[in-house]
Amino acid sequence: MKIRMLCPQCFEAVQGNNIPDILTYLDWSFPFVQIDKWPYFELECANEHKYKYTLSNELYDLLFQQATYCIQDGYFRESIGTYHAAMERYFEYCIEIFTYYHNPDTDFKKLWKIISKQSERQLGAFYSLWLATLGENPVFLEEKRVELRNKVIHQGKLVNENEAKDYGKYVFDYIRNSNSKLDSKLGERLAECHNKRRYRICKDDIKKLTDISAKGIGSVNIPSYLSDVTEYPDYLSCFQKTQINGIGFVK
């Protein structure tokens, strides 16, 4: 999976003082960046300008995007494992948000070290924290989803397109619905907790990044299937629009 970006330096050189509506920095001049780590990526354009960015998209968001690309390209079996990975990383994200919500001084790294080894522990922590924070039961993960994922991963089970899309829709609806609940119930505290998580993840690498001779460090949010509610109102719409203009994720 890649990110299609623009090079700020080339953009400014070409676009200059033109009226914003007349684009002279054309589509073909956007550089592509292969995503092989999270949350950082490095951009180098054809003119050798270098930039460093941190992605503000969450890892679950990237995994969901990649799993959907798998279906689009006919790799149905592979999509199941990646969708499931997106769910598990989503639970991790929520657990961290909830712990900061209850205690901003939580040493999350220490807690995660203990529960990260077993997905069942993570699920238990997610359920309990959801109930404690939102005052209602979470939607419990359907057992048959986990069984299918395990058969795919451990027994080489093959699946067809419908099974893969059924799994994808389940994950899409689960994350979208949960996020809108978090939004409405946690309000401004959600952004606070989210920023705290970003800081924890990025702080150790900031120095490393500044040592590399890349120009500037910026944070960028790439519109995705999960985050772009207007463009992708439901799961099916992820398969209807395949062309992107400007900045975005590509296969």
Contact residues: Zn ion, CB under 5 A: 7, 9-10, 45, 47, 49
Least distance from Zn ion to the Cβ atom of residue 36, Å: 21
Least distance from Zn ion to the Cβ atom of residue 105, Å: 43
Whole-Å CA distances, 160 to 12, 22, 163, 165, 248: 47, 45, 5, 9, 28
Over the Cα atoms of the chain, what is R_g? 20
Q: Which is nearer to Zn ion, 9 or 56 (CB)?
A: 9
**242 CB-contact burial (10 Å; exposed 0-12 / middle 13-18 / buried 19+):** exposed
Least distance from Zn ion to the Cβ atom of residue 5, Å: 10
Q: Which is nearer to Zn ion, 12 or 183 (CB)?
A: 12
Partner residues linked to 215 by β-bridges: 51
Q: Which is nearer to Zn ion, 45 or 125 (CB)?
A: 45
Find how far residue 62's CA is from the centre of its chain.
4
Angle between helices 119-134 and 108-115 (to 10 degrees): 130
- Residue among 52, 56, 55 nearest 211 (CA): 52
Least distance from Zn ion to the Cβ atom of residue 206, Å: 24
Partner residues linked to 44 by β-bridges: 50
Least distance from Zn ion to the Cβ atom of residue 13, Å: 8
Q: Which is nearer to Zn ion, 43 or 222 (CB)?
A: 43
CA distance 175 to 192: 20
- What is the amino acid identity at position 82? T
Q: Which is nearer to Zn ion, 4 or 198 (CB)?
A: 4
Decide: 122 and 95 in contact? Cβ < 8 Å.
yes
- Residue 86, Cβ neighbours under 10 Å: how many? 26
Least distance from Zn ion to the Cβ atom of residue 175, Å: 35
Least distance from Zn ion to the Cβ atom of residue 247, Å: 14
CA distance 100 to 175: 20
Q: Which is nearer to Zn ion, 141 or 217 (CB)?
A: 217
Q: Which is nearer to Zn ion, 115 or 214 (CB)?
A: 214
At 138 the three-state DSSP class reads coil
